[in-house]
Chain A
Amino acid sequence: MAKITFITSDNEEIVAEATSGTVMELAKENNVNGIDGDCGGVCSCATCHVHVAEEDFEKVGAPGEIEADMLELEDNYNERSRLCCQIDMSDAIDGVTLYVAN
């Protein structure tokens, strides 16, 4: 079971947890504002863009090449940007904080 904290662009804080699926799915289940997940998680729509908190970035890890290509063109891109449909829920990311980019 991993617990994730989402912070939306209007500073709402949502804490949610799950054992499987992706972080995007978790965000959608919990109606996190700014995470639309239009493409269902295939890395095509970039509507699941988050910034990983600085202290958690190592835990979450860097994007792969295809994901990085998508992110590079996004508004609000920074060096801790990820598409959260590409982050799997697992114990390894327990306690992580993610800032919704949109």
Chain B
Amino acid sequence: MKKSALPDPFAQAREAKGYGTVEDQNDPVTMLLRLKDVRKTAKDTKTFQSGAVPGRIVVPSEVSIRDTRQIPFEVDPPMHGEYRALLEDWFKRPEQPTYRESLEEIITELVDEALQMDSLEVMEQFALKLQSRALTLLLNIPYEESEIWIDWGMHVFRSEESALDGSKAAILYDYIDEQIDKAIASLGDDLYSTLLRSEIEGRKMTKEEVKGVMILTFAGGRDTVINAVTNSIAYFAEHPESLARLDAEPEMTTHAVEELVRYFSPLTHMGRVVTEDTQVCEHAVKADSRVSLCWASANRDASTFENPNEVILDRKMNPHVAFGFGIHKCLGATHARQVLRTLLAVLAAKVKKIEILDYKENIEDWEEFQRKVGYDSIRVRFEGK
């Protein structure tokens, strides 16, 4: 097995019965593993609710460490649509040429730096920096602010000891509170101010609502982007021919990004609360229990994807759900796609070879399923053209 490979731990359960079960803080979760079940469930927002107690649809549950509702992700229709409509244009900005140019500058600088070093640890020294600096563009705030977020280290919500660390999450929450107060004192053209100026149902958005959007913006795009960036570098280290091909056929980049995202599936799954007794893949689920939509498993479903465990960079038909599916699909997807497209273009243009020197895998433990989602650390050496 290649070092960069992400095996599929769900195959057997997906084919045999279509679901798995995880115990989570006395609130078990039925994980849906087949692409069609995942898609159908994601579309049925009546039976499968997102607007449950804040934190409950996340697995592991965050009910014990937060009560701020993340918006629009923990809201159901019709309110969901109102919030989403407010945010849509802002989160589409990454398609604008000026945004793309700034992103290219950020990534080029990092790659140039990496080329100068004897070796680097990709998570800390590349992906975390990239994610933090790119986020300043999404929020439309000064670049320097990223230094604070880089200083937070890899995990804001997780510590060495615990996957759910309330005291660490408090750092982010306090920070966001402070930023909102600052924006109230003097409105600018950043995301905080834009939200504070927005109206929902004929009234101004509350501080708590703004906070809900901002927490989601920070949290949703952090480890996901970091993993996608790091996994991409590991992949190209073991597939220099792919890098050369992207350089020769840049028009392939869009397809390549979708395929890498399918293969990596940076977010393993996302939960829903069942509102009435029902069935998923012929399995009964009770009202007020939880199911999860396992994007990572769905994206390897052999009944739709040919050779699902291979990265086929120019895969034409690729109906993956790595950014989710339905009304709650990832709001930051345009930004994430732009980050990855730019990363691939810059790597293809400048890098000849990447060598993996040392690594430690990050394996998520979902009881019967052990899933590699990326790395805790990975040291590499870049070689320029």
Contacts and interface: CB of A to CB of B under 8 A. Distances in A.
B334 interface: yes
A43 B320 CA distance: 8
6 contacts: A40-B255, A42-B254, A42-B316, A42-B318, A45-B329, A66-B317
DSSP class of A's interface residues: helix, strand, loop or mixed?
loop
Contacts of A67: 317
Interface in B272-326: 304, 315-321, 323, 326
A46 to B, nearest CB: 9
A37 to B, nearest CB: 10
Interface of A: 38-45, 64, 66-67, 69-70, 73
Nearest to A40: B254
A39 B323 CA distance: 10
B254 A41 contact: yes
Nearest to A42: B318
A42 B36 contact: no
A29 to B, nearest CB: 13
A37 B69 CA distance: 30
A66 B323 CA distance: 18
A44 B36 CA distance: 13
B43 interface: yes
Given A38-B333, A66-B304, A69-B304, A43 B318 contact: yes
Contacts of B329: 45
B333 to A, nearest CB: 7
A44 B334 contact: no
B36 A69 contact: yes
Interface in B318-348: 318-321, 323, 326, 329, 333-334, 337
Interface residues on B, range: 20 to 34
B319 A73 contact: no
Contacts of B133: none
Nearest to A70: B319
B39 A73 contact: yes
Nearest to B39: A73
Nearest to B305: A66
B39 A44 contact: no
Contact of B315 (A38, A42, A64, A70): A42
Contacts of A73: 39-40, 43, 326
A40 B258 contact: yes
Contacts of B337: 38, 40
Interface in B254-269: 254-255, 257-259
B161 to A, nearest CB: 38
Considering the complex of A and B, which 4 residue pairs feature the smallest CB-CB distances, nearest first?
A: A40-B254, A42-B318, A42-B258, A73-B43
Contacts of B258: 39-40, 42, 44
Q: Indicate the member of B254, B316, B317 with the most A CB atoms within 10 Å.
A: B317
A40 B317 CA distance: 11
A33 to B, nearest CB: 13
Contact of A42 (B40, B43, B255, B333): B255
Contacts of B315: 42
A64 B258 CA distance: 20
Contacts of A66: 304, 317, 319
Q: Indicate the member of A38, A39, A43, A64 with the most B CB atoms within 10 Å.
A: A39
A83 to B, nearest CB: 10
A43 B319 contact: yes
Nearest to A75: B43
Nearest to A36: B92
Contact of B320 (A38, A40, A44, A64): A44
Contacts of A64: 317
Nearest to A73: B43
B184 to A, nearest CB: 33
A31 to B, nearest CB: 12
Nearest to A37: B254
Contacts of A38: 333-334, 337
